[in-house]
Structure 1
Amino acid sequence: MSRISHADAPAMDDCGQRLYDAIWAQRPRAEVLGILLHDFQAAARVIDTPGYIQPGGFWTFKLAGVQGDNLIRLHIWPAGRPDRTNTEGIHDHVFDFTSLVLAGGAPMVNTVYTPLPDKDGPVSIYNVNYLDTKNVDVEKLRGRFMPVAQYQDHTSTGEYYTLKAGDFHTSVFENESFGVTLLATRLDPTIRCPRFFFDAHATPQMDQPRRPISVERRQMVAHLLQSLG
C-alpha cells in the first residue's frame, strides 16, 4: 500500500540518504538544516517535487524515497490552516517515523489513543486502501470503539518526536500556529493500510489532497526559508 501511495516520490540519491540518516539518528537541528538547505537544496526541489495540500490543511512534500519504503517528508503547517476541509481526526500510519520540528510558533502536540471495544462507542474504525497515488477506497471495519487518550507530548523547535506504525494519534501545532516538520519514515510491512476513527453513525467523505499550483509553491518556499532563518 505504501509503495502505491508514495510511488511518485523522487528516488533517494546519496545526499537524500545523508539527510534521511541524520533525521533518523536525531542529529542536531543545525546539522540537519545545513544538509536540507545547502547540500540537498530543498528550496529548489520543493518547486518541482510531489506536493499536496492535505484535507487537514497542512502541506506535504515528498522530498525523496526508496520504493515507497523509506521516505523524507517535509510538512508545512500554515497558521490557522486556512485550506483545511475537514476536522482533525484520529488516525495511524503504516510506517514508523522520526520527526524534527524545524520551526514552530508553538509546540507540536501529539496525542496517542487506544481504541477500546464498546458496543455503544461513538466511533468505528475505517481502513484506507490506496488504489494509486491519489485515489482511495474506504472500508468500514466491524465493531464500535471508545477512543481513550493514553498520553500527550509537546515538542518544541529543535526537538524530535517519534511514532510507531499503528499508533492512533492526532498531531497539530498548539494554537494553530505556523510550523515546519521534517520526517524520516520507515515502512512496517506487517500493517496493510492506514486507518482512522470516524462517527459510527455517519459515512466519511474522503476529501482528496490538492496539488498546489506553481505560485503557491513559490510563496510557500519563501515563507519556509524565512521561518528557518
Structure 2
Amino acid sequence: MTAALSVRGLVAGYGGVPVVRAIELDVSPDTFLAVVGANGAGKSTTLRAIMGLCEVFAGTVELGGTSLDGTRTSDRVLAGLALCPEGREVFPSLSVEENLLTGAIAGQGWTGRRDALDRVYELLPRLGERRGQSAGTMSGGEQQQLAVGRALMSGPTVLLVDEASLGLAPVMVDRVFEILANIHASGTAVVAVEQNIRISSVATHIVVLEQGTISDRLVADDVGGGLYQAAQAAYFGTGGT
C-alpha cells in the first residue's frame, strides 16, 4: 500500500537553524499518528515543514507517492494536505459557516462547497447547529471544532492537527480527541501533535519527539490495549510533562 504521507530525512527550522532532524514518518490511509513530546520538542515545526511553512534544509515529503518538495503550501492543500493550526485562528467576526467556507476555496474548489459543508456538519453536528453564530462568541471547544471543520473543507486525504487540546477543559479535550477519532474512522488519515498524552487513547501509532529527533515509536497492534500506558512510559522518559 502506498503511504498517504511519507517523510524521509527531514531537517527543518527557522533562520538557517535546524529545529528538527532526521524525521522519518510513514502515514498510511488508515493511520492515526500521534506525535507527542514536551514543549519545544519540534512537534509544530514538523507539521509546518510538511506544509511548506518553514525552512527545509534536507529530506523529502511525498503525498500518495508524489513529491511535494519545493511546492507551495497552496499546492500541498490541493494535493490533499490540510493543517488545523495551533491556537485555532478562526475569524471571530465571521459566522461559523463563513469560517468554514474560507477552507473550501483552495481545496475542492468553490463548486464543491455544499458537499464539503454537508460532510463537516455530519461529522461535527454542533457546527451545523451554530452555523449562523459569530465564531468569536463560541466557547474554546466549539472554536476548536470549527478550526478542524475548516481544515476538512478542502477534502484532505491527510489532516494535520497542531495541539488541538491547547487551553481546553479536560472534558472538552476528550471530546475533541473523540472527534479526531471519528474523522479518522470516516476515511481521513490523521497526524496530530500533542503535549497531552491522552491523545494516545485514540491513536493507532505514536511517535515521541525529544529535542528535535524521534526517540521512540509505538504501534497499537504491538502493545494491544496498553498503547496509552506504553506511550506514557515513552513520553515521560523524555522528560515531558
> How does the TM-score come out when normalised to structure 1?
0.27
If each structure's strand is expressed as a fraction of its own residues, which one has the higher value? Answer: 1
If each structure's helix is expressed as a fraction of its own residues, which one has the higher value? Answer: 2
